[in-house]
Amino acid sequence: MSAKKLNLKDKYRLLTRDLDWEYSYADRKKAFPYEEFEGIKITDWSKWEDPFRLTMDAYWKYQAEKEKKLYAIFDAFAQNNGHLNVTDARYVNAIKIFLTGVSPLEYQAYQGYAHVGRQFGGAGARVACQMQSIDELRHVQTQIHAMSHYNKYFDGFQDWTHMHDRVWYLSVPKSFFDDARSAGPFEFLIAISFSFEYVLTNLLFVPFMSGAAHNGDMATCTFGFSAQSDEARHMTLGLEIIKFLLEQHEDNVPIVQKWIDKWFWRGTRLLSIVAMMMDYMLPNKVMSWKEAWEVYFEEAGGALFKDLARYGIRMPKFVETTEKEKEHISHQAWWIFYNYGHAAGFHTWIPSDEELDWLSEKYPDTFDKYYRPRWELARKMEAEGKRFYSQALPQLCTTCQIPMGFTEMDDPTQIAYRSSDYEGEKYHFCSDGCKHIFDEEPEKYVQSWLPVHQIYQGNCGGASVEEVLRDYYKLNLGADNLDIKGSPDEQRWKEWKGVA
C-alpha cells in the first residue's frame, strides 16, 4: 500500500514548524537575545501564518522557471542591440539612478532579512525571512545583469557599488537602510516589510517598470515584472507581521504606531527621487507623481489603514503634509539636481516646451505659478551662456540627508528649516517629520555621516569639488556629470540614430 500523499499544508508544517527544537538545557532568551529588547510582547508564535506556505523544494522550482524565461529575454535584448530601442539618451539616466540608488538596497535587504530571521523564536517567521532574503539577493543579481548591457554603451554605470557608498545624494537611500538595519528585528520588519514593501513599494516598482516599458527598455521592464511575484509575497509578509504583532498583545500597539509614523516619513522622503524620475526623467511619461501618489497611497493605503483601525492603528503622522507635497516634491527635487548637475553621476536638463505643458496640465494649481517661471529663467540664462550651477555645498537634513531645498507647503516660496539642540550642538532638518524622528532618537541620528560635513572636514579626497568628484567619487568628469546636451552619451546616441 502506497503512503498517503501529504497536502501542501501538512508538507509545509513538517518541513518548517516541525523542524524547530525545544530548549531543554539552553536558555531560550539567550538563543534569541534581540526578541524582547524593543518592548514587543509575543505570547504565541504558533499564531504566525504564512499565506504562501512555500517549502524550499517548491521555492527553487518556482524561481528556476522564472529565471529561465527572464535570462532568455536578457539575451535577446543584448543580441538585438536593445539599447537602440529606448526613446533617447536621457532615459538612460533614470537607469543610472536605479542601479546606484535602488539595486544596492536590494542587497542590504538580503543581508537584513538574513540577520533578523535568526533573531525570531518562531519557526514560521524565520522561514519567511529566509525566503525573502533569498528573493532580495535574486533581485540585485537580475538587476545587475539587466542593466550591464547599458554599461557597454553609456557612461555612469562602471562603478555603481563605489558610488553608492560615497556619492553625496546616494547617502539618502543608503542612510535609509543603514537606519533600518541598525534597528531591532521587529522594527526592521515594520520598516521594510510593512512601511516600504506593503505601503510604498508600488510607488517604486510600478513607475520604474511601467516607465521602462513606455520607453522601450524591455530588459528593465522584464526584471521588474519577474520580481513582482516575489514582491506580492513580500507585501503579504508585511501585512502578516503587522497583524501578528497587533494581535499578540495590546502593549504592542503604541510601539508599532511609532514605527509606522517614522518609517512612513522616511520612505516618502526616499521616494522623492522616484517622483522627479517620473515627472522629469522619462521622455515618454506614464503618469505624474501626483497621480501615482493618489492611486497607490491615498486610495490603496487609505483602505489599508481603515482596515487596521480596529487594532487601534491610525494613519501615519504627517500624512497631511504628504498630501500637500505631492504638488511640489518632484519639481523641487529635480531643481536641486539641476543646480548640482556638475556634482552628480548622471545628466540633467531643462524640460522641453512639450514637457512644460504636460507638467502644467498635471499640476494645474501649482506648476505655472511656482515652477514654470523658474525653468523659463533657467533656459534664458543657459541661452546667454550663463548656465547656473550652485557652487557652494548645500546644507543637509540630519535625518533624511537630502539637501535643504524643500519648501514650506503653505508657502512654496520659503525654504523649510527646522532645528533641534542636543548636548550643546544644533542639528538641522528639512521638515517637521525629520525633526520629529531625530527628537525621538537623538543618540542615533547625531551619528549621521553627512557627506557635506565630511567634505568640509577633508575626509573625501581633497579640498576642491573637482578633487572630491574625481578622486573620492571616481566620476569621469565631463562624461558622467553635467548636462545631457553635448555629453558623450548624447553624441553617441545621435551617431547610432543618424541624427545631426
DSSP for 430-482 reads: SSHHHHHHHHH-HHHHTT---HHHHHHTT-SS-SSHHHIIIIIS---TTTTSS
Going by pLDDT thresholds of 50, 70 and 90, the confidence category of residue 115 is very high
Mean of pLDDT values over 469-485: 94
Going by pLDDT thresholds of 50, 70 and 90, the confidence category of residue 155 is very high
Is residue 365 helix, strand or coil? coil
Please give the backbone phi and psi of residue 318, each rounded to the nearest 5 degrees, phi first.
70, 15
All three cell numbers of 60: 527553487
Going by pLDDT thresholds of 50, 70 and 90, the confidence category of residue 2 is low
Calculate the dihedral angle through the C-alpha atoms of 455, 111, 221, 325, rounding to the nearest 10 degrees.
-50
Axis-axis angle for helices 372-383, 353-362 (nearest 10): 170
pLDDT at 500: 65
Give the pLDDT confidence of 345-387 residue by residue, as tens digits: 999 999 999 999 999 999 999 999 999 999 999 999 999 999 9
Pick 20 or 143 by higher pLDDT. 143
All three cell numbers of 462: 581633497
- The partner residues of 456 in beta bridges, in order of sequence, read none
DSSP one-letter code for 398: T
Mean of pLDDT values over 37-65: 88
Please give the backbone phi and psi of residue 206, each rounded to the nearest 5 degrees, phi first.
-65, -50
Q: Name residues whose C-beta falls within 8 Å of residue 482's C-beta, 6 or more positions apart in sequence.
A: 341, 342, 347, 348
| Spatial separation of the C-alpha atoms in residues 83 and 218, rounded to whole Å | 9
Pick 389 or 123 by higher pLDDT. 389
The residue among 460, 177, 470, 461 whose CA lies nearest residue 345 is 470
Rg (CA), the chain: 24
- The partner residues of 462 in beta bridges, in order of sequence, read none
Give the pLDDT confidence of 164-215 residue by residue, as tens digits: 999 999 999 999 999 999 999 999 999 999 999 888 888 888 888 899 999 9
pLDDT for 460 beyond 70: yes
Q: How many CA atoms lie within 13 A of 431 on its CB side?
A: 27
pLDDT at 1: 53
| Spatial separation of the C-alpha atoms in residues 143 and 50, rounded to whole Å | 27
| Spatial separation of the C-alpha atoms in residues 353 and 122, rounded to whole Å | 58
Read off the pTM: 0.95
> What secondary structure does DSSP assign to 48-94, as a single string?
---TT---HHHHHHHHHHHHHHHHHHHHHHHHTTGGGGSS-TTTHHH
Torsion sign, CA atoms 128, 134, 139, 142: negative
Q: How far is CA 368 from CA 283, 301, 384, in A?
A: 20, 29, 23
Q: How many CA atoms lie within 13 A of 335 on its CB side?
A: 20
| Spatial separation of the C-alpha atoms in residues 346 and 344, rounded to whole Å | 6
Which contacts of 379-383 are long-range, i.e. CB under 8 A and separated by 24 or more positions?
379/350, 382/350
| Spatial separation of the C-alpha atoms in residues 217 and 150, rounded to whole Å | 10
Q: Which CATH number fits domain 31-39+49-349+388-497: 3.40.50.2000, 3.30.40.230, 2.150.10.10, 1.10.620.20?
A: 1.10.620.20
| Spatial separation of the C-alpha atoms in residues 195 and 211, rounded to whole Å | 23
Exposed / middle / buried, residue 185 (Cβ in 10 Å: 0-12, 13-18, 19+)? buried
Mean of pLDDT values over 79-89: 94
Domain residue extents for the chain: 31-39+49-349+388-497
Name the one residue in this structure whose C-alpha cell is 512612513: 264
| Spatial separation of the C-alpha atoms in residues 397 and 480, rounded to whole Å | 26
Mean pLDDT of all residues belonging to the chain: 93
84: left (phi over 0), alpha (psi -120 to 50) or beta: alpha
| Spatial separation of the C-alpha atoms in residues 136 and 233, rounded to whole Å | 12
pLDDT for 3 beyond 70: no
